[in-house]
């Protein structure tokens, strides 16, 4: 696998007066991998997600140093429409991300804004529903769905543009076991289809599905744990990290 998403000496603060939220972060995320970014609340995980997705600096301003590269190209060089077709983000509170009356409308929204043809929209909506196994939710109102189903709809809404990278920012943190399993299964399925997944979380049980886990503290990456090891080893390493 080769690197698809990279940061070089990435630092960020929300204003001149504030201290750095991110400090000299250097990471390489491989194409087709599941990479987890783990850390306690307040360590800068969500700010890093904003930088990796281009929300910083395109929508949120601040003092940014260093660069984010997608396929070797500076993220600042992408237009917003082009960026949305490279990388999609699902946030913790999907109620802020879902606002249309049906699942079908949520999936079609970005396609309509990019002026896809009716035939293409119909085909892509059907394919996206089928990929995630949520055809039965097509005409449902997302606000009436379970937590896991809402997250699947949010994933579908970004998946409609077929981005290579999907970032899930604490998307699993408030789900019960049944709904968590729905989303975990979708993540593993998308990874097998070649999507690059960045999973930002602080719960140990959500992190162990990753191919590698980046440990974050005080705005910087302090260590990396390779996945594929025994659950006992991963639990011990992660619990030690969180308890320090």
Q: How many CB atoms lie within 10 A of CB 141?
A: 13
Cα distance between residue 238 and residue 233, in whole Å:
9
pTM value?
0.91
Strand partners, 63: 13
Dig out the tokens for 110 from the structure: 């970005």
Read out DSSP for 126-170? HHHHHHHT-GGGTTS-GGGS-HHHHHHHHHHHHHTT--SEEEEES
Cα distance between residue 152 and residue 34, in whole Å:
17
Question: 180, 195, 242, 227: which is closest to 36 by C-alpha?
Answer: 227
3-state secondary structure of 243: helix
Predicted confidence (pLDDT) per residue in 186-242, tens digit: 999 999 999 999 999 888 888 889 999 999 999 999 999 998 888 899 889 998 998
Predicted confidence (pLDDT) per residue in 47-99, tens digit: 999 999 999 988 898 999 999 999 999 999 998 888 988 999 998 888 888 99
Domains assigned to the chain: 3-243 (3.40.50.300)
């Amino acid at each position: 696998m080769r690197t698809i998403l990279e940061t070089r000496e990435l630092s960020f603060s929300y204003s001149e007066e504030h201290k750095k939220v991110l400090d000299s972060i250097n990471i390489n995320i491989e194409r087709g991998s599941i990479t987890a970014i783990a850390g306690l609340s307040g360590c800068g995980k969500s700010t890093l997600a904003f930088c990796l997705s281009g929300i910083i600096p395109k929508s949120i301003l601040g003092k940014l140093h260093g660069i984010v590269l997608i396929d070797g190209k500076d993220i600042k060089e992408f237009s917003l429409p082009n960026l949305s077709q490279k990388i999609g983000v699902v946030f913790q509170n999907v109620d802020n991300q879902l606002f249309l009356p049906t699942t079908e409308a949520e999936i079609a929204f970005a396609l309509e804004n990019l002026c896809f043809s009716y035939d293409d929209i119909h085909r892509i909506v059907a394919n996206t529903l089928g990929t995630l196994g949520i055809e039965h939710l097509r005409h449902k109102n997302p606000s009436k769905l379970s937590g896991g189903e809402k997250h699947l709809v949010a994933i579908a809404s970004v998946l409609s543009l077929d981005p290579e990278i999907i970032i899930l920012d604490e998307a699993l943190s408030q789900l019960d076991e049944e709904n968590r399993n729905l989303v975990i299964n979708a993540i593993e399925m998308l990874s097998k289809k070649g999507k690059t997944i960045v999973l930002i979380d602080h719960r140990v049980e959500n992190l162990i599905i990753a191919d590698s886990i980046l440990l974050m503290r005080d705005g910087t990456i302090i260590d990396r744990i390779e996945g594929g090891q025994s659950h006992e080893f991963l639990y011990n390493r992660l619990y030690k990290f969180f308890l320090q």
